[in-house]
Amino acid sequence: DANFIQNYYASSRLHHLSTFKIELQNYVIELRRQRGLTSESTGSARASGRRCIMYVDFDCFFVAVGLRSRPDLRGKPVAVSHCQNPSEASSSDIASCNYEARAAGVSNGMVVGRARQLCPNLIVIPYEFEQYREASRTLYQILVATTPQVQVGGMDEAILDVTNLINDQSADKGAQTKGVSRESVCAKMAESLRQQVWEATQCQVSVGISENILLAKLATRWAKPHGQYYLPIEDAPTRLAPLPVKHIPGIGETTARKLADAGITTIRDLRNQPLARLQDMLGPKAGLNIQRMALGQDDRPLVTSPPRHSVGTEIGWGVRFETPAQVDKFLRDLCQEVHTRMATASVRGKSVTLRLKRRQEGAGEARKHLGHGLCDNFSKSATLPQLTREADALYQTCSRLLGQLAVPPVDLRAVGIQVQKL
DNA sequence: ATCCTCCCCTAC
DNA sequence: TAAGGTAGGGGAGGAT
Ligand SMILES: Nc1ccn([C@H]2C[C@H](O)[C@@H](COP(=O)(O)OP(=O)(O)OP(=O)(O)O)O2)c(=O)n1
Ligand SMILES: [Mg+2]
């Protein structure tokens, strides 16, 4: 099908999630430039001691945007998904659900069929990607107008370093005790941001506030929905101790299970482990990082203009081929897509990786309609003849890699390419 | 030690 | 029907 890739991307939420993030990073740089703030000192460069970090995150973002034009649905359980029928067997993903739906056990990423079992009166509304894009951009306009020290966390979340702003305002107020003053000045600033975002977007954000990125992010959990929460760093040991390890950013499903197998389930457990044991399980750097986080320690500065290290594209849905010629055509189209993105970003690369998924021996049809199902992954990289972004050069090299990986077209379930060494 | 390739994992 | 992408951190194991 000639326009498969374009049509697919037009409907893929995960594609939009990823590409909006890149676009927002560039947008923030542009907003800073417009305000003549490019070379502003860092948010905490002047300060030697305590930082003040704010984590700003829209509440059930896609649903909140969708409900603006559907006020009659407020108060009812609502989810955003492609699902068009009332089936309890739908394998369509829920991108976002509101708090009414969550009360029934529904969560983001769940398939609609399962969600309907938990919440039979769940209402499904469609995606509105352009509206999400607009709301995100409005959020970032407001944030950059407050401080240039903004890190893009994603389409619906951002991190601010307001240390210098807070210190200046605390100093202006003169005599007040430092600790109390800082907290109240932070709280006022967060109130103001939430109000501005609400007025400009008719969507709510929550704000977590603390002294580093980790604690500010964890604080947003207590801030939601549509609230704010200041987590004093002194309280961190007590507040973090009982939380499941999965709350630490970087610990996902797989790592949490691995830790559970070793009897480690809470952040307290993580903190009490000998460092060497965590490092044996997770590796030297990961073990150290995770134990530091368990202690509430995080000295990472904001990254306000992250350098780009790779440009890639991958499709793992609807991939069902019969002939090598079909695979070849698909690969050509992917190379063209990457070429276009590299041109937009004004980058060229010296190395390319081909990534494939191959249907596992004996795996039946995927649980998800036209999904990749159970697969084995393969990747192979090669150096490009020169620093390039030309679609044809990418294709020549990828085509060779495809031959080397030798996956029968019928067994292919995903194809992707990624260019690096930019 | 440090690099390289081929992975796995994570977050939105 | 359904739209399971994307970039970065980092580990294992081998080469230098
Ligand atoms: N599995 C997921 C998770 C998220 N998203 C999209 C839809 C979300 O609205 C948006 C932001 O993700 P969040 O994790 O911030 O979730 P929400 O904003 O929906 O809820 P909240 O932040 O209130 O917990 O990303 C998605 O498509 N699929
Ligand atoms: Mg959110």
- Chain segment A265-324, per-residue pLDDT in tens: 999 999 999 999 999 999 999 999 999 999 999 999 999 999 999 999 999 999 999 999
**If pLDDT is split at 50, 70 and 90, which confidence band does A363 have?**
confident
Work out the pLDDT band at A170, boundaries 50, 70, 90. Answer: confident
Do β-strands A96-97 and A78-80 pair in parallel, antiparallel, or remain unpaired?
antiparallel
Burial of A221 (C-beta count, 10 Å sphere; 0-12/13-18/19+): middle
Whether residue A108 contacts residue A95, with contact meaning beta carbons closer than 8 Å, is answered with yes
As a rounded value in angstroms, the CA-to-C1' distance for A61 and C7 is 22
Q: What pTM does this model have?
A: 0.96
pLDDT one-digit tens code per residue, A186-228: 999 999 999 999 999 999 999 999 999 999 999 999 999 999 9
Percent above pLDDT 90 for chain A: 91
Q: Which domains does chain A possess?
A: 25-31+47-60+130-238 (3.30.70.270), 62-128 (3.40.1170.60), 241-294 (1.10.150.20), 311-420 (3.30.1490.100)
pLDDT at A128 exceeding the cut of 80: yes
pLDDT tier for residue A32 given thresholds of 50, 70 and 90: very high
Which residues from the 235-264 window of protein chain A have CB within 7 angstroms of nucleic acid chain B?
249-256
pLDDT digits (tens, 9 = 90+) for A292-309: 999 999 999 999 999 999
Question: Which nucleotides of strand B are protein-proximal, with an atom < 7 A from a CB?
Answer: 5-12
Q: Which residues of A222-256 are buried (b: 16+ CB within 10 A; e: fewer)?
A: ebbebbbbbbeeeebeebbbebebbebeebeeebb
A60 in contact with ligand 1, CB cutoff 6 A: yes
Please answer whether residues A382 and A399 qualify as being in contact, where contact means their C-beta atoms are separated by less than 8 angstroms. Answer: no
Cβ A59 under 6 angstroms from ligand 1:
yes
Band of the pLDDT at A397, cuts 50, 70, 90?
Answer: very high
Q: In what order do the strands lie in the sheet with A123-125?
A: A96-97, A78-80, A123-125
Residue A176 has pLDDT above 70, yes or no: no
Which of residues 353-392 of A have CB within 7 Å of strand C? 366-373
pLDDT of residue A177 exceeding 70, the answer is no
Q: Which nucleotide is nearest to A7 (CA to C1')?
A: C3
- Output the pLDDT for position A252: 98
CA A168–ligand 1 middle distance (angstroms) = 35
CA distance A54 to A226: 15
The answer, yes or no, to whether any atom of ligand 1 lies below 6 A from the CB of A335, is: no
C8 C1' to A72 CA distance, Å: 41
Strand B atom within 7 Å of A285 CB: no
Mutate to test the pocket of ligand 1, among A18, A108, A194, A247 (most ligand atoms within 8 A of CB): A108
Per-residue pLDDT at A310:
98
> Nearest-CA residue to the C1' of C8?
A309
Residue A180 has pLDDT above 90, yes or no: no
Q: Is pLDDT at A174 greater than 80 in this prediction?
A: no
pLDDT tier, A41 (very low <50, low <70, confident <90, very high otherwise): low
How far does residue A95's CA lie from ligand 1's centre (Å)?
6
Pocket lining: A156 vs ligand 1, CB cutoff 6 Å: yes
Q: Which two tokens stand for residue A29?
A: 């740089």
Work out if A14's Cβ lies within 7 angstroms of strand C: yes
Tell the residue nearest (CA) to atom 19 of ligand 1.
A60
pLDDT band at A40 (very low <50, low <70, confident <90, very high): low
- In this predicted structure, the answer to whether residue A3 has a pLDDT above a threshold of 70 is yes
Q: By the 8 A CB rule, do A372 and A356 touch?
A: no
Nearest CA to ligand 1 atom 17: A60
The pLDDT of residue A37 is above 80: no
